[in-house]
Amino acid sequence: MQPLPAAAFRFSETLLVATIGDCHFPDDTVEALHFPKLKKLAFQRVHISERSLHNIIDRACPALECLLISKSFGFRCVQINSITLKSIGVCDSYEKRGIEFKELIIENAPHLERLLQVGITFGLHVSVISAPKLETLGCLTDCTFGPTKLVLDSIVIQGLHVDSLVTAVHTIKILSVDMHTLSLGVVINLMRCFPCLEKLYIESRGPGETNLWRRKHRDLIRSLDIRVKKIYWQYYRGIKSHVDFATFFVLNAKVLELMTLEVHEDDYNEEFIAEQRRKLQLDSKASRGVRFHFTPEWSHHSSWCFHVHDLDLADPFERKEPYKFRE
């Protein structure tokens, strides 16, 4: 890798957004860096030492609000102590190139609102010690390559499995999950972790579990306060496990406002949609004002795809393209 070119420092005093990629940061170069107005910074496939990375975050960028670290190496652990950061996006690398990024520790981030996993991880360990304003989390996944371990207050989540729950976190309002095997039990456990959850994004390409809930979760339904208002589901196929999963929310989510189901282009027709509306028992919905939308699948879209410009969006998972709805 080539070192960062000298031209990168030409506008350092006025620069607001910077994406740095495919280069090497020598330690002596970092000592001279100063970006007093920089608000958004992305590292993509960058070789940088742990000391230099922390130097840039803690000292060189005093106004930094959005940080993206993607497929970079030369450091094992990133520790965040920042009073300005509002959004963090991370992605470790599948390539073995020296010291690998394996741990993110958010020690003190009083204004952090969004914590995003922006690519398939390979065993990244994320610990959130103090982030009292954290509202958006994702994309959590049960990916077999090495799922992320998330420690958030007293909650320990390995992939999508809740290993420990002592005290729920009430600040999380937006959650995105990527499930190889669609499981209602997993989502219910996550809602118990985050009882104030308002928006749920689901991506599930694989088969589903049985997802029968009337007997299995009968006692839980009486006590579970479902506050979800919006559900967006990619790769809805209309098979029984998917229908059973969806009807749990149709029949029990009393404040649900919108459920959007993205279906394969081949299934996107009037006959399929009419059949699904019948199977989902929409006439018996728990929420009177809820709307149900069917939209064709856009194969290029994924919850994984983020750029540094997306990190300061109020909801970075929300679709920016115009929907093609069928009610």
**Contact at 8 Å (CB) between 229 and 257?**
yes
Q: Between 313 and 325, where is the model more confident? A: 313
Judge if the upstream peptide bond of residue 77 is cis by omega within 30 degrees of 0: no
SS (H, E, C) 218-249: HHHHHHCCCCCCEEEEEEECCCHHHHHHHHHH
* Contacts with 102 (C-beta within 8 Å, 6 or more apart), sequence order: 76, 77, 92, 123, 124, 125
Distance of alpha carbon 109 from alpha carbon 129, whole angstroms = 9
Mean per-residue pLDDT, 280-304: 81
In angstroms, the CA 228 to CA 276 distance is: 21
pLDDT score of 130 more than 70: yes
Note if the pTM is more than 0.85: yes
Structural contact between residues 199 and 229, judged by C-beta atoms closer than 8 angstroms: yes
Looking at every residue in the chain, the average pLDDT score rounds to: 87
Query: What's 41-87 look like in SS3?
Result: EEEECCEECHHHHHHHHHHHCCCCCEEEEECCECCCEEEEECCCCCE
Rounded to an integer, the average pLDDT of 251-260 is 94
Identify whether the C-beta of residue 65 lies closer than 8 Å to the C-beta of residue 38: no
pLDDT digits 0-9 by tens, 43-87? 999 999 999 999 999 999 999 999 999 989 999 999 999 999 999
Segment among 64-78, 159-173, 269-283, 296-310 with least mean pLDDT: 296-310
Q: What is the mean pLDDT of residues 120-129?
A: 84
Cα separations in angstroms, 20 against 137, 166, 294: 25, 40, 39
